């Protein structure tokens, strides 16, 4: 199998927004309790936050962390989570059939983001919550002081405002599973009033309105059109969500990027249709604020309890490769996808896994996420690519290998992310750094293996792990690499003076 990729400095897709490397922590399963917070664990700091988890999050260089949900959001009263801990109510979280102790609320989560070098992507409840609750939360978080809610924040230990810039207005409101689920017009009108009220409280914030829960919903993309028509003046982003799972055909699963690409294009078209309809100069950007591999159809009945073990995926190498294809697709749409949240971050469909009273470890998807987060910053270029196709049952003939190229002018580096989705053939690939002058490859890592079902476990934390590959010489701006069958590759070039 063959591919060639010609990279031209001037062919720019766009600047990558740091927020493309964001994630998500919901009050769900063991994401919060025994995930980020476990006062009894010897690994925890004086505030009860697990230091091992903090270190692993830092290594990922996560930008925003969406909080507190997710489906949880739609039955959550943020006022339950502030003030003295012993006075906070214990509630039923009906979204996930869980006991919510409210030991962690917005103040503690803010402290955690300071420790991890991340920022909160806030979210307001549009299910059981009112627009008043939404505006009050913005006042609590962002108003400097001298008002009821801002003074309460100060009394609760935070003199300085949190200055949370990005806010999701509800979550997946067209999903029948969502508490307070509504039709597009009802949501659009409420979201518009909430966003307006929140912006009247702090005009510097940016808002994300709910798109349809996912592309397979019957309501998609008509829901998105209606919501945007209702919210255009006060919305900055529309959210989209997509999870993929292997339904038994590895080739279709590895081709998930193709489906994701199509979803993004349709969502952009929907935004631009409403822009045209409104005769507006304003462009709405996409917040892909939930993306990952997730085996959703597992039944996980459990009693009412705090922090149940639910949605705890153990990712295989094959999952990580598919995930890499999704990451490449996000990068290649960096001109319109300005926020993307790997859902989620700890224990719940997550790259980081903890054991209570023990340590934490990386899951297979940790590696491709870390690669794009560390080396995917700069300008995405739009190279000329020729690649042999492969036939998939679901999507027909599509390229067997996919690429994203990022030019970091400041560091004088070009990074090529490459996924060979063929399970049977290596891909002979020519990389042509057309007009970058004198360059040299200085880094090449590969994630692959004979057993695509391999999974990292507590006992075998190296079961899936990238390896360094031998550096290849660049001659006359060109170099030839062999991308192993079913492999994720990160190849970096230094531009020499
Ligand atoms: O991330 C898990 C769940 O998936 C979220 O709570 C919800 O928004 C989505 O359906």
E-strand ranges in 129-215 read 166-169, 206-210
C-alpha of 240 from chain center = 11
Please work out whether the CB of residue 313 comes within 6 Å of at least one atom of ligand 1: no
Segment 295-303 long-range contacts (CB within 8 Å, at least 24 positions apart): 295/245, 295/246, 296/243, 296/245, 297/245, 302/97
Separation of alpha carbons 35 and 122, rounded Å: 19
- Residue 2 forms beta bridges with which residues? 428
pLDDT in tens, 214-243: 999 999 999 999 999 999 999 999 999 999
Query: Which pLDDT score is estimated for 298?
Result: 76
Predicted local confidence at residue 372, as pLDDT: 98
Residue 70 in contact with ligand 1 by CB distance below 6 A: yes
463: left (phi over 0), alpha (psi -120 to 50) or beta: alpha
| Cβ atoms of residues 377 and 406 within 8 Å | yes
Which of 22, 23, 26 is the best mutation target for the ligand 1 pocket, counting ligand atoms within 8 Å of the beta carbon and taking the most? 26
The pLDDT, as a whole number, for residue 271 is: 98
361: phi then psi, degrees, rounded to nearest 5: -145, 165
Query: What tens digit of pLDDT does each residue of 197-213 get?
Result: 999 999 999 999 999 99
Greatest CA separation found in the chain? 70
pTM of the model: 0.97
Is any atom of ligand 1 closer than 6 Å to the C-beta of 252? Answer: no
Q: Is the CB of 172 under 6 A from ligand 1?
A: yes
Q: Which residues are known to be catalytic?
A: 172, 290
- Give the residue, by CA position, lying nearest to ligand 1 atom 9: 70
Q: Whose CA is nearest to atom 2 of ligand 1?
A: 70
Return the closest-CA partner of residue 160 out of 206, 94, 114, 122. Answer: 114
Q: Which of 25, 121, 171 to mutate to test the pocket of ligand 1 (most atoms within 8 A of CB)?
A: 171
Of the candidates 353, 363, 376, the residue with the CA atom closest to the CA atom of residue 317: 363
363 lines ligand 1 (CB under 6 A): no
Q: Residue 411's CB: how many other CB atoms inside 10 A?
A: 14
Q: 127 CB less than 6 Å from ligand 1?
A: no
Q: Using CA atoms, how far apart are residues 362 and 350, in angstroms rounded to an integer?
A: 9
Q: Which atom of ligand 1 is nearest to the CA of 26?
A: 6
Q: Is 290 in the pocket of ligand 1 (CB under 6 A)?
A: yes
Instruction: Please give the radius of gyration of the chain, using alpha carbons only, rounded to the nearest integer.
Output: 23
CB-ligand 1 contact for 71 (6 Å cutoff)? yes
Number of residues in the chain: 497
Residues 6+ apart with CB under 8 A from 398: 255, 258, 389, 390, 392
Report the nearest atom of ligand 1 relative to the CA of 69.
6
For residue 153, what pLDDT is reported? 98
Ligand 1 centroid – CA 471 distance (Å):
41
Per-residue pLDDT of the chain (497 residues; tens, 9 = 90+): 999 999 999 999 999 999 999 999 999 999 999 999 999 999 999 999 999 999 999 999 999 999 999 999 999 999 999 999 999 999 999 999 999 999 999 999 999 999 999 999 999 999 999 999 999 999 999 999 999 999 999 999 999 999 999 999 999 999 999 999 999 999 999 999 999 999 999 999 999 999 999 999 999 999 999 999 999 999 999 999 999 999 999 999 999 999 999 999 999 999 999 999 999 999 999 999 999 999 997 778 899 999 999 999 999 999 999 999 999 999 999 999 999 999 999 999 999 999 999 999 999 999 999 999 999 999 999 999 999 999 999 999 999 999 999 999 999 999 999 999 999 999 999 999 989 999 999 999 999 999 999 999 999 999 999 999 999 999 999 999 999 999 999 999 999 97
ω into 37 cis (within 30 of 0) = no
User: CA nearest 187: which of 168, 201, 206?
Assistant: 168
- pLDDT of 497: 76
Mutational pocket test of ligand 1: of 23, 98, 172, the residue with most ligand atoms within 8 Å of the beta carbon: 172
Measure the CA–CA gap between 287 and 210, rounded to whole angstroms. Answer: 9
pLDDT at position 377: 98
Cα of 71 vs centre of ligand 1, distance in Å, is: 6
């Amino acid at each position: 199998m063959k591919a060639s990729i010609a990279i031209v400095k001037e062919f720019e897709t766009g600047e990558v927004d740091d927020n493309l490397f964001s994630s998500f922590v919901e009050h769900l399963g063991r994401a919060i309790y025994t995930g980020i917070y476990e006062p009894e664990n010897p690994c925890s700091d004086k505030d009860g936050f697990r230091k091992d988890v903090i270190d692993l999050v830092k290594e990922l260089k996560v930008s925003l962390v969406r909080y507190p949900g997710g489906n949880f959001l739609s039955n959550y009263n943020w006022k339950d989570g502030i003030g003295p801990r012993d006075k906070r109510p214990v509630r039923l979280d009906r979204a996930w059939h869980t006991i919510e102790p409210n030991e962690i609320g917005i103040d503690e989560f803010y402290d955690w983001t300071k420790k991890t070098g991340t920022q909160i992507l806030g979210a307001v409840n549009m299910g059981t919550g009112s627009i008043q609750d939404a505006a009050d939360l913005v006042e609590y978080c962002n108003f400097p002081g001298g008002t009821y809610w801002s003074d309460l924040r100060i009394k609760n230990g935070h003199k300085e405002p949190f200055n949370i810039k990005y806010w999701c207005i509800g979550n997946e409101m067209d999903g029948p599973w969502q508490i307070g689920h509504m039709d597009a017009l009802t949501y659009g009108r409420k979201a518009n009033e909430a966003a307006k009220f929140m912006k009247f409280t702090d005009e510097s914030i940016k808002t994300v309105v709910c798109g349809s829960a996912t592309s397979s919903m019957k309501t998609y993309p008509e829901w998105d059109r209606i919501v945007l028509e209702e919210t255009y003046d006060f919305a900055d982003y529309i959210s989209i969500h997509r999870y993929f799972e292997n339904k038994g055909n590895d080739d279709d699963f590895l081709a998930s990027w193709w489906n994701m690409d199509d979803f993004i294009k349709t969502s952009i078209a929907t935004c631009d249709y409403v822009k045209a309809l409104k005769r507006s100069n304003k462009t709405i950007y996409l917040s892909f604020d939930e993306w990952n591999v997730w085996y959703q159809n597992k039944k996980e009945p459990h009693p009412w309890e705090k922090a149940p073990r639910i949605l705890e995926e153990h990712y295989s190498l094959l999952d990580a490769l598919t995930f890499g294809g999704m990451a490449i697709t996000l990068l290649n749409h960096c001109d319109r996808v300005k926020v993307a949240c790997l859902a989620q971050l700890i224990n719940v469909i997550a790259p980081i896994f903890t054991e209570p009273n023990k340590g934490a470890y990386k899951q297979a998807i940790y590696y491709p996420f870390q690669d794009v987060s560390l080396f995917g910053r700069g300008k995405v270029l739009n190279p000329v690519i020729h690649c042999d196709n492969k036939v998939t049952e679901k999507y027909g003939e599509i390229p067997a290998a996919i690429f994203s190229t990022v030019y970091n002018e400041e560091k004088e580096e070009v990074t090529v992310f490459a996924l060979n989705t063929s399970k049977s053939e290596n891909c002979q690939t020519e990389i042509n750094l057309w007009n970058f002058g004198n360059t040299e490859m200085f880094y090449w890592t590969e994630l692959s293996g004979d057993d695509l079902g391999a999974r990292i476990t507590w006992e075998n934390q190296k079961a899936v792990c990238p390896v360094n590959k031998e550096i290849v010489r660049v001659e006359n701006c060109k170099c030839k690499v062999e991308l192993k069958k079913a492999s994720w590759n990160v190849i970096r070039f230094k531009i020499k003076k």
